[in-house]
Structure 1
């Protein structure tokens, strides 16, 4: 045991030393491409660095249309082609300066101290005051409504909620606080009490369920990555099927399903992972989440969008073994990649809300959906000050399109909380999604979700590294 701890400490010190000797370099190039901004990163490699950087970009609601990755030999080099959510190049100087700093993992603490000051400390303090409720169970109409009702009855106030459904399974993370104190719930007896009540709700729908209450702390896992982990632990991937099997053993041009091919690269000892699927925002983040959490290391990768489709190619190895995977492991990785991509895909309508936050708001809205026969397939809702903002993705009880008359009835019963209704963009390409977003820009601006995109600083110094070596390294590859 002592030897393991000692080795871990040395690894962390060595990693920190490498960052100090070879600090990360980030360059944002708006000149080489007409259609996008090119973000280039050059850094000493470390465990999880690729996912961290993609997470920074996706948290800013940026769309990654192309990326070239290489991390062999202890060095990490990456090129991202990005646009904003409307398909435009990045022109906001403060946003670009923030990206330059945020992508330098060793300098993130410096950003907080220099620029955020008390505001950052306040945000961290507020997050620490929350308790997170994590649930997985059998999906079904009215599930979120029943969960919300239990929380209100037990004196909990929801401050944010994110929920996904996939293959008849549901995973949900709700951040709550004590209604009377606006603080975390520290009483273990009370925590056990609410856990039992929530388990009863989930148990009534199926035997397989999980409920966990935790107090948030610094360094918490990213919410959407945590949802991937919850659904993976719930084994939602077991009902996924490889699309090529449905296509008669070969890929058909007109098929827009998710295809995964995994082959051996004998000379280098890699597994070559090729993924083809519908393009959408956060696709790269979702794929990297499952690779990282399944302990696969990405050594090289090329990602690109072509029309409505996205192509991802990875060369990976497993951390625990230098040998190539067995057939059972290859099949499991295939299904897990398909599941990770499909979890975020939501059909039906997106209903945006922007209303005054109050105790029981989530219960009221989900009750309206349930009483009108709507099935909630995905939720993203949070609070900004005294306002609650976010989106519900809904279908009818059979998973089909929602009747427009029911939508209007729901709007009336919600008492002005609903500000916009859109057909879900998740089945559209990045380009068509951007076009649709422009058409509804005014509505989206009214319900813009809380993200790092709202925290832009204008006085950070520019970094001057040229990144000419990275550009030349990838020129032949990109062409």
Structure 2
């Protein structure tokens, strides 16, 4: 088996030397965007890797043209920064050239569907299970009890399901946790929390020293957990869904996927990620996201060379793409917390949310240079809009805050910043702040 893998790798290296990828970056061809063209040998997953690299740089893809014939493919992307400007930073441009050009390793990287590589900096924990109010608070409390510090995490919820990728370190050593007995204990206790009283759909936990591309892994986990299967498929939710359609071109032996939805950052990554993990190959495609609504068109075949074969398969493609787009859409109150990091911080914050009847629908937790920068999307646990009094209660518990409300003038009036300077009570220390914005987020 290793002999076959080694031969495969050597053949790929030879093929890349003969046919190296080419990257052309042009800031003159388009008035309002930087044009990036990538030519390379065609292999399954390369499109996703290119999109992933651009997306990880927080670049906005406003247009894309995808074409592949035979053993070669060409992608053209119009990109801007988050403010809608061309990319002029030479450091970013040089990174793109190195990441996608002849000296890159992105084609061999795609051989690993998850991108696992050893890491002694942290231990990776993956969790899936039924969503419920207070779940993140319970998980965080268990990790704190087990003397684990959460250095980064991302949590998604969709269609009654929850998935999380969390990176933790040992409280004392600040390094990865390596003791097998302790790792088994962490896995067992987290599994019990996730399972709760619902045994109809299974909970899953895994612990490793591998590193993954977190957002891609979350897509894979939720796809494997079948979050695309709607329990209550009522018409009241139709207006909120993206418009996805799949038809077959029998004379060309392709299936054509068209998607119309509200535009947002990372939308292209989410759809291409799902098609790739469902083992469909995009042969041609057009993407236009210059307005508030994005249009995507893909000519696809399954990896075995066939178009979509049945109505059941067509419906599954539609459902999976809808789910991929919806996972990032969070309605409710956006909370941004920045403070000095410490063990148990996530547990304390989420406990405060739970005690004030808020449930977390999505979360991003990061730490840099001793600072914790966390974003939470929360809703009232009973399904009602978050009340202004709840915000005031959280402010008084957490302490000195900066408060912002987006999208609703009435809420802005009722939750203006109080001149009173609340005490931190030892929970948060020095220069911590919390931003609150009432939004429907598509980021």
TM-score band by shorter chain is 0.7 to 0.9
Which one of the candidate residues 205, 208, 229 is aligned to 2:220? Answer: 229
Match for residue 210 of structure 1?
A: 203
Answer whether contact 2:156 2:164 (CA < 8 A) is retained: yes
- Give the direction of change, closer, same or farther, for the CA distance of 1:78–1:94 in structure 2 (3 Å limit): same
What is aligned with 1:475? none
Q: Does 1:162 align with 2:158?
A: no
* 1: CA distance, partners of 2:172 / 2:20: 47
Residue 257 of structure 1 contacts residue 278 of structure 1 at CA under 8 Å; is this kept in 2? no
**Structure 2 counterpart SS, 1:147:** helix
Unpaired stretches in structure 1, ≥5 consecutive residues = 110-123, 248-254, 428-432, 434-479
Secondary structure, aligned partner of 2:289? strand
What's the C-alpha RMSD, in Å, of the aligned pairs? 2.4
Task: Give the 3 Å change call, closer, same or farther, for CA 281–358 of structure 1 in structure 2.
Answer: same
Deviations 1:16-55 (A, max 9, x none): 2222112211122111222221111111222211111111
Of 204-213 and 380-389, deviating more is 204-213
Q: CA 1:9–1:298 in 2, change beyond 3 Å: closer, same or farther?
A: farther
> Is the aligned partner of 1:322 residue 2:322?
no
Q: 2:80 matched to 1:88?
A: no
Select between 51-60 and 22-31 the one with higher mean Cα deviation.
22-31
Alignment of 1:176 with 2:156, yes or no, is no
The 8 Å contact of residues 101 and 108 in structure 1, kept in 2 or not, is answered as: no
| SS in structure 1 of the partner of residue 372 of structure 2 | strand
Deviations 1:94-114 (A, max 9, x none): 2112112122374259xxxxx
8 Å Cα contact 2:129-2:203 kept in structure 1: yes
SS at match of 1:281: coil
Structure 2 spans left out of the alignment, 5+ residues: 107-116, 401-431
| Change in CA separation of 1:141 and 1:245 when aligned onto 2, cut-off 3 Å | closer
Residue 261 of structure 1 deviates from its aligned partner by 0.8
* Deviation at residue 270 of structure 1 after TM alignment: 1.3
Q: Distance in 2 between matches of 1:263 and 1:105?
A: 37
Deviations 1:366-408 (A, max 9, x none): 0111111111110011111211113111111234432233223
For residue 128 of structure 1, give the secondary structure of its aligned residue in structure 2.
Answer: coil
Q: Is structure 2 residue 388 aligned with structure 1 residue 404?
A: yes
8 Å Cα contact 2:137/2:354 also seen in 1: yes
Q: Does 1:350 align with 2:334?
A: yes
SS of structure 2 residue aligned to 1:424 = strand
Matched residues in 1 for 2:43 and 2:55: separation? 20
Pairwise CA distance, 1:246: 7.5
By relative contact order (CA 8 Å, sep 6+), the higher-ranking structure is: 1
Asked whether the equivalents of residues 133 and 211 of structure 1 are also in contact (C-alpha less than 8 Å), the reply is: no
Shift in alpha-carbon separation, 1:323–1:272, aligned structure 2, 3 A: closer
Q: Which residue does the alignment assign to 1:150? A: 142
Q: 1:88-140 deviations in whole A, cap 9, x for unaligned?
A: 2212122112112122374259xxxxxxxxxxxxxx99x43211111111111
Assess if the C-alpha contact under 8 Å between 2:195 and 2:203 holds in 1: no
Query: How far does residue 329 in structure 1 lie from its aligned partner after superposition?
Result: 1.4
Counterpart in the other structure of 2:126: 134
Instruction: Determine helix, strand or coil for the equivalent of 2:343.
Output: coil
1:275 equivalent among 259, 264, 270: 259
Q: Which residue of 1 aligns with 2:363?
A: 379
Distance 1:214 1:98, change over 3 A: same
Q: Matches of 1:205 and 1:424 in 2, distance apart?
A: 32
The answer to which structure has the higher helix fraction is 1
Map 1:181-192; keep pairs closer than 5 Å: 181-192=173-184
Superimposed CA distance per residue, residues 63-103 of structure 1 (whole angstroms, 9 cap, x where no aligned partner): 11110001221111111111111222212122112112122
TM-score using structure 1 length: 0.78
CA distance 1:43–1:279, change in 2 (3 Å): same
Q: 1:243 to 1:263 in 2, by over 3 A?
A: farther
The residue aligned with 1:62 is 59
* Distance in structure 2 (CA, Å) of the matches to 1:196 and 1:329: 36
Q: Residue 35 of structure 1 contacts residue 89 of structure 1 at CA under 8 Å; is this kept in 2?
A: yes
For 1:263, which of 221, 230, 247 is the aligned residue? 247
What TM-score results when the alignment is normalised by the length of structure 2? 0.84
Inter-CA distance 181–213: structure 2 relative to 1 (3 Å threshold): farther
Closer/same/farther in 2, CA of residues 246 and 267 from structure 1, 3 Å limit? farther
Cα distance, 1:324 vs. partner? 4.2
Q: 1:38 aligns with which of 22, 35, 38?
A: 35
> In the alignment, is the contact (CA less than 8 A) between 2:169 and 2:175 conserved in 1?
yes
> In the alignment, what sits opposite 1:293?
277
